[in-house]
Structure formats: structure tokens, C-alpha cells
A and B are shown apart, each in its own frame.
Chain A
């Protein structure tokens, strides 16, 4: 992403909007919001150069609480909306946010293709393994056996593994954070924002109201920083191995960060070379019209 050259003296509070978050006290999303504000301040990105695009769900309310341009779009559609925005103005820092239902359920198709085409944006998924706003149904990342309103006998389906999907789709920045580990999360977000392509950041963000399984205690007992385990984030196979691990240990951190990132679609599409589409003059010149009409004769 194009980095702003303005070294403004920005603080996290400069990214605080007038609206206090309406999340439940203790919600993991607060941690993500804080980390995002801290990361943007550290990188000195001016608020008016940021567009945060969300889907629908509790975590998708984030743009309202974050001081920047925001676009609270449709359930599962934050990525195509964000992609269109990015194609339209590749000077903007485009950040997509949402939940695990929004991103890994209804939005899974767009997620896969966005990573495959490598649109240059950062996608933060606040993963609480539940559908919160609709009051407690399973999500694609809910564990097998979990009992919810829609699975009173226990969830029969295994959880999706978004990190493996990302690694298979050719994503060159695949990370997972934890709302309870602010220090690591800020660093992950900063790295993701600077990655010149699609960056997936899955974040364990406990839902204190509806998920009695994946709680802060659950994660505190299990999460282990990849950087503390000697993981080489430049090693794709090692990333796949770590992404498959879920049990007494759940790795968090940057799973894969390519040392030689493949070019983003924004850099490859000939039409996007030079100034952003939005700044270009509209319409055709007389010569262009003449040539096009000549083709019809």
C-alpha cells in the first residue's frame, strides 16, 4: 500500500470517532479496535487516507467507532466492496473488517478469490467462533460438538481452517492474532498494513455473551506465539504445518510472510498504472472517438 509521506504526529485517539462502541463490555473486538488504532498511529497514516470497509455483524460495526472514511456494507460482501474501492483509488489504505460468519461463511467465495487475485488490502477477521449479533448460532469456525440455539444436539460439522485456505489460495501474508495479546496484535497489523498485497489477519476475539467455549481462559491456556517457537515465517510448508495445529497449543503470530511477495493485481493491471482511476479525466478524446468509430467501419 502506498505509504503516506506526511509524518503527522498521530496518536491512537486520533482514530477514535464520536461514537462509543456498542459492544458488550469485555468483548474481544475492543482489543482489535485498540490495536488497529495504535498500528495506524505508529505508521502515521492520515485518517482521511484510510477507508475501512466492513460487512454485517457485531465486529462489522467497527467503522462507526474508528475515525476515518468508513463503509459498512453488506453481509459477506466487504471484500468485493473494498476491492472496488481499491481499484478506484489505489492511493487509499483500504482495510476490510468483519467477523468469522461474515468472512468465512457467506463471504468465503469472495475471500478465496480476493486472495487469489491478491488485491492489495488488509483483512482483519474478528473470529469469535459464533454468530453474535443474531444472538448465538454456530459459525463456520465453531468447534465440533458446540451446543448453540441451532445445534442443541451439538455441532456436527468440523470448523473451517481459514489459514489453510489462505495458504492454498496463494496469500502471501497469513497471520492470526489474539485480542488478549495486544503487543503481538499491533505488530501483526502493522506488518499486514505494509504488506504489498492481500494480508489476512484472523484474530481470536472472544464473545463474552454467546460463546462459553472459546473464552479468554480457553485461549490463555493454549495460545503460543510463533516467534517464541522458532517459526520461520518465510517458510510456506512450515506455515501449513503450524496452521494445522489446534489442540493444547494454538499458534498465534505471522504464519507466512513471503520474502518475495507476488505482485498485487493493482500493480499488474495495466489500467491501474499511474494515477488512480478516480483522478483521471472522464470521457474520450476526439482522436479516441475517431479510432473507435473507424473500427466499426
Chain B
């Protein structure tokens, strides 16, 4: 117990109970004290009711995953207590408004109870049950060892506009919770040291949007879809200030075609959606590839297929990204490996998109896009290199109008210098049809096999240049490890943590995380797989789309598979136990979040109105 290196808080309640804002406030308070946070909200696709479960892991260093236990449980409704009391870790505390809620059973061994009767602690709260949140936050920061001033400052900022009285009563509520925790509980051994250099607190979608702004995005178009809408909201909020045109339009087909139209005239354009919206964009991806116009499309993956589970995470769209659009076309598929990486990836891939004149598909997922982490502010304060490739944006006004410019001139690299409409002397027609170097449709003249092959080859060889431009994945950990874990995108942090834990337990593990799926560093990855002792893929996919992709690109199969597709992200223990199961002989381990020994295989169905769908 004195080995504790972090504190994990779980805040649960119905949608509308203020779970997310309480979680956000706590995260912000920690960030301001220089405490590292990794947060994830498991919520439902409802506006009111249901069950929302926000976990925050706090540590003096930067946590890489949400961890796999709960130390401090804040229950804002009965349903949360019923579900989560059983999982509070020894040494932890359950906090709840005992005026309204009751413990469903005795708490687990060595778990303290912090009853916070709202009626007693904040008599003037009256019908404002939401004040129970403030009381609980006050109590929890006391347990974590954070200063009361932190929450007082937050209250001032949050409620200052609502008047003196609201601020006062909230501050009183926070203090009441703080004092009650201090008086009635044994300290929990919090390892957190507040007072460090303040950190920024950022949600994944904000990182993607901010990355776009840094990259010089001037047009952002979107259609609201969970869990990508956060990017649109950030863009819309900051559009005027940053000189960006951010528009919500009629459907995802309009979105992608507008982005391509804008890009064609020389503007960096971006859009974000989820799997269903991306499906509608499929045809246009091929259009961008054929007319060799860059565009960056973010797909924030969620549980599918079809409408699926709109607020749950999955890594199920790799196949869709690889297969999007008809024919053989050139694209880049990149999966950022963390929230911080997402911010840096956007400017990086815009350069690639423009240099090689093709569409880039960024595969995020709910874990990244709606998760939150702390980040040192200086890592966000960077000016990215802007490389627009061979872009022709001007020409002398007296240029000979008969001067021949070939938009699709065949070159060694496959990339042809790109003029933008408005520039004198460089007229051309770009077509979704196959065309010759001068842009004339081959169907408009003799449909010529020689020209056709020439142009297909020209576009295809661009990928050689792309592969050269992107870094190969690197193995992390000792090369002679007993187990090699392979993952892609958002699972980097949790796999790294699991690898370390395995090694500590005597099963040496190293780790290969793939960020660029297409083009793929087949030579490097093959070498790693072939020299590994036992390879195990880790992914949030039932069918093993990543394992299939590895096999398709290298010809090699991995030895074992750990797959989680119940909608919740991996926790380190799932991977640790999964590895042990594979070593015992299981080829495919299918992970479920419910623990053996829990009071029910499936947690009780949430009560409460279903309200309006969020998706």
C-alpha cells in the first residue's frame, strides 16, 4: 500500500448529474498543481439518465493509461454505488451524499467510507443536489493532498458570473467536504506532490483541432457525429479569432467534397467524423487521390458496425480506411499514438499530404478523442514546419497564355508541380476520370492503354517517396524479450505500461507500436517479428483487423492475439493477464471489463429516462 504511485478517482452518475464537469474540474485542479493526469469518460449515448463513469488517474509523472483500479469513488447517484462500490481498491475511499444515497452492501475490505450528507453539510443547498458534486470534490482533493485554494479559485472562475452568493455557497460546500474528509478519515497515503509547474489539460479532439490550426488549416467543415464533434466545436469557437472558416454543412458527403474543393484552390482543409460518416466519404477519398489534391480526413473510431455504440471505443475501421474507395489509389493512413502525438501529427501529415498530393486518413478513436491528459505547455507551444510541396501560387501577369503547363506531368517521383486556380498561364482541368498529363480525359480522345498505364504508374510510384518520408516504427524495450507486444494507434500507453509490469513480474516484454499503417514499413516490421520469441497483437477489434493488416503487409502471422471489443479501453491488467493466457496456450484472448467475482456478470441496467440521443 505504501507502494502507491498514483491515485485513481472514479466519478459516476447519470448523464445530467455533472459527472463530466466534476471530472474536468478535478483534472484542471491537478494540472494546475503540476500533477500528471490521464482521464477517460465512459458515458452513454443519452442526454439524461444512464450511467457516466469518469476515471482520472493522477500521478507526479505522466500516466499513460487510465490504470486498472479505483481508489477514490465519488458516487453521484445510487446506480453508481450499486455498480462500482465492489471495485474500490483496498486503501481507498467511497464518497457519497448520504442524505440521498445508501451503500448497497458493506464496502470491500480496507475501504473507508466518507459519508457526505448534503443536507447537513450545506443546509442552504436545498433542492440544488448538484452541490453534492462540489462537496465531494472538496473531500477528494483533501484525500489527494491538494490545496483547498485550488478549488476555491476554480469556483471563482466557474461561477463568478453568477454572482457573489453562488460563489460563496459553493466555496462553503467545498470547504465542508474538505473538512469532513479530514476529520473523519485516515489519510490514504497520497503520493502526489502539488505545487509543481502547471500543466495544460487537453482533450484529444482539442489536440486534433489545435494541431489543425497550427498546421495552417483555413477551412474546417464538418457534420456533427459522436465522438468527433469536439473538433468542430473547438474550430467553431475559435474560427473568428484565428481567421479560419469553420462550417457545419448538410451531410458528410458535402463535408468531404467541400474540403477537396477548397484544397484544390490551395487552402489547407480538414474534416473529422466517425466510422459512419467516413463511410459516406469513401467515394471522395478516391476523387482526391485521382485529381492528386491533398486533404486530411480524421476518423474518430467508435464501436461498430453501423450505428454501433456511439459513445464507446473501438479500433474497427482499419479495414475501411485501407479499402476506402474503388480502384487502386494512393493514401496515407496514420494512427496517432497519444493525445500529445495527435497534436503533432496533424501538421506533420499536412506536409505529407501536400508534398505528395494525396489524401491522408487520420485514425483516432474515442479513447484519444474524448480522453484527456496533461501536457507540459511548452510541448504545445511550437511552430510546425509548413511544407506545401511543389505548389505554384503565382505567375507573372504577362506570362505567355500559350505556355504549356501540364498539371499531371510525368516525373520521376510521380509528383507533378501543382498550380492553383487563379494563377495566370497555368490553366488546366482536373478530372475524376483518368486523364493524360495535360488533364484531358482519356475517354475524350482515344482511350489509350499506354496513357492509362503511364498515369497509373505515375501516381503509384508516389508511395515510394511517402515511405521514405515517414519514420519506421521502433521496438521499445530489450530486443531479446520473451514476449513482443504489437499494437497500433491509441493503445501505445497502456501496452507500454503492461510491458513494464510484465517485465517486473519476470516475463520480459518489449513493444512495437505502429503509427503509419499505409504505407507500411514491411521490411523493418518483418525483421522485428521474425527475430521475436513470441509475438502478441493487442487491439480493440473482434476480427483482429490489425493482425490481418500485419499479415497482409509482411506475410507473417503473430503467435497470439489479445482482443477487446466490449466498448471499454484496455487496462494494463487485461494485457498482462492476456499475455499469461497466451503463454499458457490460448491463441486468441477476448477480454471483458467485468471482473470475475463481481456481483453480476453484467452490471445492473441503469435506471432513469433515456432522454435524447447524442448521436
Q: Which A residues form the contact surface with B (CB < 8 A)?
A: 17-19, 22, 46-49, 51, 53, 56, 61, 63-64, 67-74, 77, 80-89, 91-92, 109-110, 113, 269-272, 277-278, 280, 282-284, 286, 288-290, 292-293, 296-297
CB B327 to nearest CB in A, in angstroms, measures 13
Given known contacts A69-B421, A272-B245, A289-B380, is B202 in contact with A22 (CB within 8 Å)? no
Tell me, in angstroms, the Cα distance from A161 to B488 when the chains sit together. Answer: 52
Question: How many angstroms between the C-alpha atoms of A17 and B242 in the bound complex?
Answer: 40
Rounded to whole Å, the gap between the CB of A226 and the closest CB of chain B is: 31
Sampled A-B contacts (17; CB under 8 Å) = A48-B421, A48-B427, A61-B441, A63-B431, A64-B441, A69-B429, A70-B431, A71-B429, A71-B431, A72-B429, A84-B259, A84-B261, A84-B269, A92-B421, A286-B381, A289-B381, A292-B213
Of the candidates B261, B263, B377, B428, the one whose C-beta lies within 8 Å of that of A293 is B377
Q: Are A83 and B258 in contact (CB under 8 A)?
A: yes
Name the prevailing secondary structure of the B interface residues: mixed
For the complex of A and B, 5 pairs with smallest distance between CB atoms: A84-B261, A282-B216, A70-B429, A84-B258, A88-B262
State which of B240, B245, B287 has its C-beta within 8 Å of the C-beta of A87.
B245
A49 to B105, CA, bound (A): 75
Q: Are B383 and A283 in contact (CB under 8 A)?
A: yes
Q: Is B386 an interface residue (CB 8 A)?
A: yes
Question: Which of B87-95, B249-257, B451-459, B558-566 binds A?
Answer: B249-257
Contact partners of B199 in chain A: CB under 8 A: 297
Contact A69 B428, beta carbon cutoff 8 Å: yes
In the assembled complex, how far is the CB of residue B10 from the closest CB belonging to chain A, in whole angstroms? 23
**Is B429 within 8 A of A82, CB to CB?**
no
Q: In the bound complex, how far is the Cα of B2 from the Cα of A94, in angstroms? A: 69
Residues of chain B lying within 8 A (CB to CB) of residue A280: 218, 243
Partner of B422, one of A91, A109, A293: A91
- Selected from B201, B239, B377, B440, the residue in CB contact (under 8 A) with A64 is B440
B239 touches A80 (CB 8 A): no
Give residues in B with beta carbon < 8 Å to A. Answer: 28, 31-32, 198-202, 206, 210, 213-216, 218-219, 221, 238-247, 249-251, 253-255, 257-269, 283-284, 287, 291, 377, 380-384, 386, 393, 420-433, 439-441, 444-445
Cβ-neighbour of A84 out of B31, B198, B221, B429 (below 8 A): B221
List the B side residues contacting A272 at CB < 8 Å: 245
Could you tell me if A51 and B421 are in contact, using CB atoms closer than 8 angstroms?
yes
Q: Which residues of A contact B255 (CB under 8 A)?
A: 80
Residue in A18, A270, A283 whose Cβ sees the most chain B Cβ within 10 Å: A283
Hey, which chain B residues are within 8 Å of A51, CB to CB? Answer: 265, 421
Q: Which of A19, A88, A92, A289 meets B219, CB within 8 Å? A: A88
| Other-chain contact of B200, A68, A109, A293 (Cβ < 8 Å) | A293
- For B378, give the chain A residue with the smallest CB separation: A293
Query: B430 to A89, Cβ gap below 8 A?
Result: no
Known: A19-B440, A297-B32. A83 touches B261 (CB 8 A): yes
State whether A282 touches B254 (Cβ < 8 A): no
10 additional contacts, CB 8 Å, given A74-B257, A84-B269?
A69-B421, A71-B291, A72-B429, A73-B287, A74-B284, A74-B432, A80-B253, A88-B265, A272-B245, A277-B219
